[in-house]
Structure formats: structure tokens, C-alpha cells
Structure 1
């Protein structure tokens, strides 16, 4: 928990400098504005506020960690940990909105020049469809292994472990109980493929040619590779969970700790790679290229960004657009397909869990 809070604090600290050069706290600003004295004061105040709430959240999390679990009670212990996370997130949001409010009077219209590419932009899947099939082959292999060793699965096996690492929920040997992790894993991987497809084909481009366009494509490709890597991680994780009935132990297997450590390492690597590239690949564009025609802003109007976070533009056919404060893409919430993509993962998880729940 403390490692997550510290990591988020560091990310929030540097995030304003990872955006496009003419975007500052989700507001379109003139070139060079971010280096002006007033902008530096706004950034410093944002960082102080973020640091204060992060330290308070960290103190709360440390108290919950070192306090006797028995003295606090499991419920109080859990709520304190949850409160620490919410405190940091709400504090960061408040610091962002306050900074954005101070920048808004200095906003400038985005570049009026519209570009059109003479050739279609690259849309090839990194690794091709063979790489996309890999996670499903892993899940299918685990399913086949379970079929061959069905008789070795006990009549009752643990399906959930409590905070102490001891099983507190059990399931019976049935198709629903045994194959639920594989079905859920396949559904989540399929959802990530859909998001990757949308990132390649339904995303808005800021630049149509030149070094900026090339870096945009490299950034988009990196996002798709991250999604692909997440698919493989989920396939391995759900495959591991599906094999646990063969173990039939009441204690949490040590493999879970290995997966948690691997997940932390992968998250750090993803953040480092994205930070080095910058939003839309702008940190990779040579300075000469930036000086010679980089667009002001991201070619979207500030009024379509609600609170600087939610993009709502009915006239824009794009489904995915670059985040104005963050790394990666967000949805155009004026498009019905965006809401489908937002709610589909939740629906898939709920339906899969309910359908495979033992009766």
C-alpha cells in the first residue's frame, strides 16, 4: 500500500511536465507559457498541495499497517486503507482543478490549421494476429490440462483467501467453479483487444505529417504493446488461478506474491516508458522539429473538456483522444460507443461471475 501511495505521489508530481508543450493543466496555452514565472508559481503550488495530501494519506496508511489488526478490527483496518487511497486521489484532483482555474484566463485558441494525410496512417497490429492469439492459447492450454486431470480435483477446494492468507470461501468441483477464472480471463483479454483495435483505428491524430506524426504513431504503438503485455499477464494470472483447485490447500499459495511483485515491476516499467516518450510522443520529437511547425494544443477546444478531464464533443467522430492530463488516451463521452466500451468490462465481469457461480 505504501509503495503504491509513494509511486502515485511521484507520478502526480511530474505529470504536468509530461503533457504536450502547449497544454498546461488541460488548458491550451501559447508556446513558452509553461516556462513563464506565473506558470512556475502555479506548478509549485500544485506540487505543494499534492505533496501535503500524499503525506497525509501515507501517514494514515502507515498507521493502519503498524496498528494491531485485532485491535482495529478487519473492517476498520480495510476502511482506513481505502480512506488513504481516496485522500490522495481527491487531494490530487483538487490540486489539479485549482491549478487549472488559475491557468484558464491565459488560455489561447488551438492551432486553426487542419492537416490531412495523403496516405493512410499505419494500423498494423504490433506482432500481428499471432501475438494477439497468444493469451487465448495459454488459457486454452490450461483448460485442456484441467480436462485431463479432472479426477484429481477434490470435491471441495478454496476459491477465496482472507487477509491472513487462509481460505474463507470454498467451491465445489463443477464446470462453473473450475473454469470461471479461464472464462473471465478470456473475456478480459478480448476486451483489451477491442480497446487496442480502437486505439489504432478510432483515435484522433493531432499531426498528419512530419516528425510529430511519426512520434504520435510510435506512442500509439507503445500503448497497443502495453495492452498486449497486459493480456499476457492476465492470461498467466488467470491460468495460475484456474490450476489452484489441483493444489487444494487452505493456505494462499506463494505464487500470488510473485504475481504481485511482477505486476508492480510491470507498472513501473510502463510508467517509465510512457514518461520518457511524453504524451503523444512529444518528448521524443527533436527540438528543431518542434520549432518548425508543432501545432498549438491538441486541436480540440477547451470548452469540450469538462473539468479538463472528460472530453465531450458530439461533432468529433473520434472515439479515443489523447488525455490532456495524463498519459495515454481517454474516451469521447459524446459518442455512444464510448459508453459501451466503458461499461462492457464491468458487464463482462459481473455476468461471468454470476454465470459461473456455484449453485
Structure 2
């Protein structure tokens, strides 16, 4: 079972990493803004092909090695897990090195070719489109929190009947493999972590919803549709993740309270189902939607607007990955490499929304 799980993760990771250049807006290449006129440049296309090919080959090598060690040798489970993690990090590090190299090459080519110097730079922020925004309202994200609070109340009421040792970690087979002594804190620690994650999702959805709808200056009509679709799918993806986490954590909590609540088969099947649904949802989100909705097909015809390009804000993107702009009130902005959103590191609220909950989770885990 552990072999199949790691193989699925590495296959998924390889495909996503290799496909990233094709999932992004054409006007963003390795974190660099490219005017619409030059997005089909042969050099840029070759950079994307080399990145995808090398990443794919490294991933395939990792898959073959993992399959060989998993099915063709008698490695201990702990050793196999370490090897699996090493292979995953190798794929990520390889893709990161390739990204940084081609980021530098793309920046150099843009500068040498003087792309955009003779074009009028325009930033199009469509505030009117917010009225058509189909992102889920934040109170919907708060509903799972009510379930978690209810589970906390129920756990307190069942405290005397709970076992002396409380599970704090579950292995790949769904069985607990780490425990903490029973205490008023340890019996609800799992639910407290879930509550923190749910609160973080509410905050992310709220601040993402407030971010501006940035349109492509040369393709305003089609990019408006793509942006709104991207925001809608992002919101639903986050909500699905929140619901699945609530179901999983709630199930684990109930099995702690009532040992007979589920058999060994259910303990293994439910986490695997959670894992499978998350992978499929992530794949759908990435390949169907793309960054900024770039893969959403539209039948809208854009009016020709010659001589303009998007405002170049490359100076605010460190290595094309970290957005640092104190003058931008947005807390979340679209990633430049990858699908989804990242925080504005120039806005202190972003640290509070993302890092604050992680610190709380770390403290809760440390105290167990």
C-alpha cells in the first residue's frame, strides 16, 4: 500500500511540475512579464520544452527507482519512506534549479531584445467585474467551523469514556502509530488544529475575494471571463479542501472517542479516499483552469488594441516568485510560476493570515 501511495504522489508531482510552463498565462514566462507580441518567441518556447523534458525525465527515473525498490526488494517500510521523500525532493529541487536558470535567461533575453520599450504600458484593474464575481461568500467557509465546534463540545462530554492514550498520528494503513497521554488539551488538539486550518481558509477566501481583477491590456474581454472563472474555481477548490479535511479529522476524532466506530478497512479506505479526491481535484484545477484561468476557452472576440502591453511590475517579483510591494493593498496575488495565489510579502497582514495559523498549529503539535 505504501508503495502505491508514493508512486501516485511522485507520478502526480512529475506531471504537474513538467506541465507548469503550459499551465500559465502566455504573457508570464518563468516569472517574467512578456508583451503579447512576443509570447511565441522561439527561444522562450525552447526554454519551456527543455524545462518540461528534463523535469519529466528526472521524474520518470524516480518512478522507476521507486518501483524497483518497492516491488523488487525487501526494504523496511521506514527506509522506503525515506527513499520516497528523497525522490520527491529531488524532483522539486531539479524543477526549482531549472526555473531559476530559465528565469535568468528569460530576463536577459527580454532586456537584450528590448521587448516592450516602444509599447505603452497599461494596468487594467476591473473593479466593475466584482459584481459578477462568483467566488463563494466567506460565511460558507465558516459552516464547517460550526461542525468542528460541535465536535469539541461532544468530545468534552465524552471525556470520561475516552481511552487513557490519545492518538496523535496515523500511519499509511490508517492505524494510529503515535500517542499522547489523555488530558483536557490532548483530547481536543486534533480539532483545534482543524479549527485553525478552517479559519485560515476563511481568511484566504475573504482577502482573495477583495483582490482586484487584473485584465490583460491587449485582451480585456476574454481575460475578464478567464479571471472570473479562475477566481470561482479557486474558491470552490478551497471549499472542497476544507470540507474534506473536516470529514477526515472529524472521522479520526470519532474513532478516538468510540473505538468501535469504524473497522480497520474503513480506517484505511477513508484517508485514501481523501488523498485520491484531493489529487484529482488539484489535477482538474490545474489542467482545466490554469493560472489566471488561462486554459479556460472563450468565444469572446477581443478588439485590436495595438501599441500597448501590461504594466511591467517585474521589479516587485523577487526571482519571479516572491511578490513584495508595500504600495499594493492586495494581500493575495496570482502566482507567477504555479497555479493559485501567493501572499504579498510587502503587506504585514499576509504574514498574519498565512504564518500565524502555521505557528499556532506548530505550538499545538509541540505541546502534545
Contact 2:165 2:182 in 1 (8 A): yes
Measure how far apart 1:106 and its partner are. 3.1
- Matched position secondary structure for 1:176: coil
Could you say which residue in structure 2 is the equivalent of 1:223? 234
Contact 2:197 2:357 in 1 (8 A): yes
Q: CA separation of 1:150/1:53 partners in 2, compared to 1, >3 Å: closer, same or farther?
A: same
Moved more, 275-284 or 228-237: 275-284
Contact 1:212 1:289 in 2 (8 A): no
Cα distance in 2 for residues equivalent to 1:296 and 1:18: 24
Query: Is 1:25 aligned with 2:30?
Result: yes
Structure 1, unaligned runs of 5 or more = none
Once the two structures are superposed, the pairs formed by residues 128-277 of structure 1 within 5 Å of their partners are 128=137, 130-161=139-170, 167-202=176-211, 205-206=214-215, 210-248=221-259, 254-277=266-289
Query: Is 1:105 aligned with 2:108?
Result: yes
Measure how far apart 1:4 and its partner are. 1.2
Cα distance in 2 for residues equivalent to 1:165 and 1:212: 44
Cα distance in 1 for residues equivalent to 2:58 and 2:208: 34
- 1:338 counterpart (343, 347, 350): 350
Cα distance in 2 for residues equivalent to 1:97 and 1:287: 35
Contact 1:46 1:95 in 2 (8 A): yes
Q: CA separation of 1:116/1:158 partners in 2, compared to 1, >3 Å: closer, same or farther?
A: closer
- Matched position secondary structure for 1:175: coil
- 1:13 counterpart (13, 18, 43): 18
Cα distance in 1 for residues equivalent to 2:138 and 2:46: 49
Moved more, 52-61 or 186-195: 52-61
Could you say which residue in structure 1 is the equivalent of 2:319? 307
Cα distance in 2 for residues equivalent to 1:300 and 1:163: 47
Contact 1:204 1:320 in 2 (8 A): no
Contact 2:135 2:232 in 1 (8 A): yes
Cα distance in 1 for residues equivalent to 2:37 and 2:306: 13
Number of positions where the alignment pairs a residue of Structure 1 with one of Structure 2: 353
- Matched position secondary structure for 1:35: coil
Cα distance in 1 for residues equivalent to 2:342 and 2:178: 37
Cα distance in 2 for residues equivalent to 1:350 and 1:257: 28
Moved more, 183-192 or 282-291: 282-291
Measure how far apart 1:120 and its partner are. 7.0
Contact 2:167 2:179 in 1 (8 A): yes
Contact 1:22 1:29 in 2 (8 A): yes
Using structure 2 for the length normalisation, give the TM-score: 0.82
Structure 2, unaligned runs of 5 or more = 1-5
- Matched position secondary structure for 1:177: coil
Contact 2:121 2:312 in 1 (8 A): no
- 1:122 counterpart (113, 118, 131): 131
- Matched position secondary structure for 1:174: coil
Query: Is 1:2 aligned with 2:7?
Result: yes
Query: Is 1:52 aligned with 2:64?
Result: no
- Matched position secondary structure for 1:96: helix
Two-structure CA RMSD over aligned residues (Å): 3.2
Cα distance in 2 for residues equivalent to 1:97 and 1:63: 32
Q: CA separation of 1:204/1:313 partners in 2, compared to 1, >3 Å: closer, same or farther?
A: farther
Q: CA separation of 1:325/1:165 partners in 2, compared to 1, >3 Å: closer, same or farther?
A: closer
- 2:82 counterpart (68, 79, 90): 79
Measure how far apart 1:7 and its partner are. 1.1
Q: CA separation of 1:298/1:328 partners in 2, compared to 1, >3 Å: closer, same or farther?
A: farther
